[in-house]
């Protein structure tokens, strides 16, 4: 019986380490890193991790676990937002709600695994973003003038 336990121990340790590595976000940016201005931009970001209206920064929205991260974003007009798909399957970035696009959307793009799409929001207003494939995926972008 001791020989059997000894033989299983190395395999168990290797499996445990592999599983721990799979669940870690250490190599990827956190939600706050994904939505804050890039290095060199002003540190005048709002306390909620969102860029303030006086900044024009590179803003990223991460798609993971079939959700946009963040789900709410406030940016100044003229800001480019890059949507990054970290899931293992295709999503869309579409102006609309609950999987339904609006008429003449400003964005309606498929994003494959590890793909991205960038959209510049020039006009002030509120933009609802959804995934046409996964109707539960929704976010709101408020563009301030």
* 101/54: higher pLDDT: 101
71, part of any domain: yes
73, part of any domain: yes
Beta bridge partners of 97: 100
| CATH number of residue 87's parent domain | 2.60.40.420
Counting runs of H as helices and runs of E as strands, what totals does the chain give?
2, 10
127, part of any domain: yes
Q: Which pLDDT score is estimated for 41?
A: 34
111, part of any domain: yes
139, part of any domain: yes
Domain count, the chain: 1
Q: Which pLDDT score is estimated for 57?
A: 63
Query: Band of the pLDDT at 90, cuts 50, 70, 90?
Result: very high
71: region left, alpha or beta (phi > 0 left; psi from -120 to 50 alpha): alpha
Task: Identify the CA nearest to 94 among candidates 137, 65, 52, 55.
Answer: 137
1, part of any domain: no
Q: What percentage of the chain exceeds 70 in pLDDT?
A: 61
Query: Band of the pLDDT at 56, cuts 50, 70, 90?
Result: low
Chain segment 91-138, per-residue pLDDT in tens: 999 999 999 999 999 999 999 999 999 999 999 999 999 999 999 999
2, part of any domain: no
79, part of any domain: yes
Q: Give the residue numbers spanning the domain of 87.
A: 27-144
């Amino acid at each position: 019986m001791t020989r059997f336990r000894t033989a299983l121990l190395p395999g168990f340790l290797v499996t445990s380490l592999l599983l721990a590595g799979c669940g870690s976000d250490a190599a990827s940016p956190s939600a706050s890193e994904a939505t804050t201005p890039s290095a060199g931009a002003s540190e005048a970001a709002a306390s909620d991790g969102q860029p303030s209206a006086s900044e024009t920064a590179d803003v990223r929205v991460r798609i993971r676990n079939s959700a946009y991260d963040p789900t709410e974003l406030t940016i100044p007009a003229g800001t480019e937002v890059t949507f990054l798909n970290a899931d293992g399957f295709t999503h869309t970035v579409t102006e609309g709600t609950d999987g339904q696009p609006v008429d003449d959307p400003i964005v309606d793009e498929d994003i494959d695994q590890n793909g991205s799409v960038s959209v510049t929001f020039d006009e002030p207003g509120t933009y609802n973003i959804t995934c046409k494939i996964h109707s539960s995926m929704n976010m709101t972008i408020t563009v301030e003038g």
